[in-house]
Amino acid sequence: MSAEIYSMTFRRYSLPFRQPVRTAHGAWTRREGVIVRLSNERGSTGLGEAAPIPWFGTETADEAAAACERLGARVSREQIEAIPERLGCLKFALASARAECAAADGVDAGPDDYLTVAALLPAGRAALEVAAQRAEAGFRTFKWKVGVADALDELVLLDDLLAALPAGARLRLDANGAWDRRTAERWLGRCADLPMVEFIEQPVAAATPDRETDARARSNAMDLLLGLAGDFPVPLALDESVASSRDVAHWLDAGWPGLFVLKPSLLGDAAGTLGRLRAAGGDAQDGGRVVFSSALETAVGARAALEWALRWKAENFRFSILDSRLGAAAPDSQMERQLHQSRIENRKSKIFRAAGFGVWPLFEDARFNGPEAAPFVRARDIRLLDGEAAWNALS
């Protein structure tokens, strides 16, 4: 059998955000990355995006572009699969382009399937105004960036924000690793009595094998996170700590009891990572331990990441009904059918947490934006994202 060979081209991009993204890592003003294009001998083409976040421990955009130069104008499937973990964003980009090129790895989902979406709130008091706007638009899950200002000031603001959210809303707090142990314990103690807080994301800094060579530092960081997860009832989620497939395996082996916030664009081997999480119970019926999130990509990367989230939801639901009476024959009467459908929708809601993709529009040039922030994103809308427009805009 002949080797599967693709023609490859790539384009660098550096796009200013419409507004700087403020996190505990500082103000992020520009999105830099690489868009790759593959073509096979049958004339099919596919696009993928390497959207690194270097302070998460990924490669840089320069490193991804340099690796593309080394690969050259023709690349094989074997070369793509052999790309090392340290170039995980590029590996994801090429795998996405190859899957799109083959048109054989699409999501098994109907046009009416959808993902619930969490709204991203800015740091500081600006969160109050944005939360009101997002609530009016129908959002019921919100993510607030903390660890940016003084911790005591943010704790006071937390009360104001919770009071402003609609009944039944859920709030995620994302510290981006900004807190020390004492600050994290103060927040966890306060949130223990706040049922609207869904989870706290990356309360203290990450130290993983990919980004930290000091074994003692790695052990201390892991012990601190595991200790916090065991000492408080508030669920904790890893984000910066799981920026690669290797990271996820590392934390699964350590027995992490909390959630995993996954940015598919950073993972490299998304299929293998999600397979390990499913085997470890990542599709548990309490809403699951996996939360999909944007890496603030362009439309090219957004489409690939959203399709992974949609696939996870669809596959987990299929596994779910095998162990329930929902897989039985459909009932006969209209009332029974309505009840049956209601149970199905309820089951779907319990196996998928709102995805962290309520971030667009990020860029002034609309050709680069993912789907407009909305409480739901449908499969049909994901497939309408026009990566070619973004590619052509870089010519």
Least reliable range by pLDDT among 99-103, 175-179, 306-310, 366-370: 99-103
Shared-domain flag, residues 83 and 141: no
In a domain, 152, yes or no: yes
Last residue of a domain, one of 55, 72, 102: 102
Picking from 50, 111, 109, 119, the residue whose alpha carbon sits closest to that of residue 298 is 50
Q: What is the CATH number of the domain that holds 145?
A: 3.20.20.120
Shared-domain flag, residues 88 and 118: no
Shared-domain flag, residues 144 and 45: no
Per residue in 253-286, pLDDT (tens digit) is: 999 999 999 999 999 999 999 999 988 876 555 4
Binding residues for Mg(2+): 174, 201, 239
The pLDDT of 95-123, averaged and rounded, is 78
Q: How confident is the model at residue 346 (pLDDT cuts 50, 70, 90)?
A: very low
Q: How far apart are CA 45 and CA 32, in angstroms?
A: 23
Shared-domain flag, residues 131 and 279: yes
Shared-domain flag, residues 246 and 215: yes
In a domain, 358, yes or no: yes
Strands, sheet with 74-76, edge to edge from the N-terminal-most edge strand: 45-50, 26-39, 5-23, 74-76
Name the most confidently modeled range: 193-197, 347-351, 377-381: 193-197
In a domain, 170, yes or no: yes
If one counts every other C-beta atom within 10 angstroms of the C-beta of residue 29, the result is 10
If one counts every other C-beta atom within 10 angstroms of the C-beta of residue 8, the result is 19
Shared-domain flag, residues 253 and 288: yes
Shared-domain flag, residues 86 and 208: no
In a domain, 213, yes or no: yes
Residue 41 DSSP one-character state:
T
In a domain, 214, yes or no: yes
Shared-domain flag, residues 216 and 344: yes
Shared-domain flag, residues 293 and 181: yes
Shared-domain flag, residues 358 and 236: yes
Binding residues: 174, 201, 239
Q: Which residue of the set 91, 143, 145, 313 is catalytic? A: 145
Last residue of a domain, one of 56, 77, 102: 102
pLDDT at residue 342, rounded to an integer: 47
Q: What is the CATH number of the domain that holds 14?
A: 3.30.390.10
Last residue of a domain, one of 102, 136, 167: 102
Cα angle 96, 142, 317 (rounded to 5 degrees) comes to 50
Least reliable range by pLDDT among 18-22, 35-39, 326-330: 326-330
Shared-domain flag, residues 276 and 160: yes
Q: How far apart are CA 269 and CA 273, in angstroms?
A: 6
Shared-domain flag, residues 316 and 270: yes
Per residue in 323-340, pLDDT (tens digit) is: 444 444 555 666 655 554
User: What tokens were used for 386?
Assistant: 């026009």
Peptide bond into 257 cis (omega under 30): no
Per residue in 68-82, pLDDT (tens digit) is: 999 999 999 999 999
Active site residue 91: no
Q: How confident is the model at residue 351 (pLDDT cuts 50, 70, 90)?
A: low
In a domain, 266, yes or no: yes
Q: Which residue of the set 263, 313, 348, 350 is catalytic? A: 263
In a domain, 239, yes or no: yes
Active site residue 350: no
In a domain, 108, yes or no: no
Number of structural domains, the chain? 2
Residue 197 lies in domain? 114-393
Residues 6+ apart with CB under 8 A from 322: none
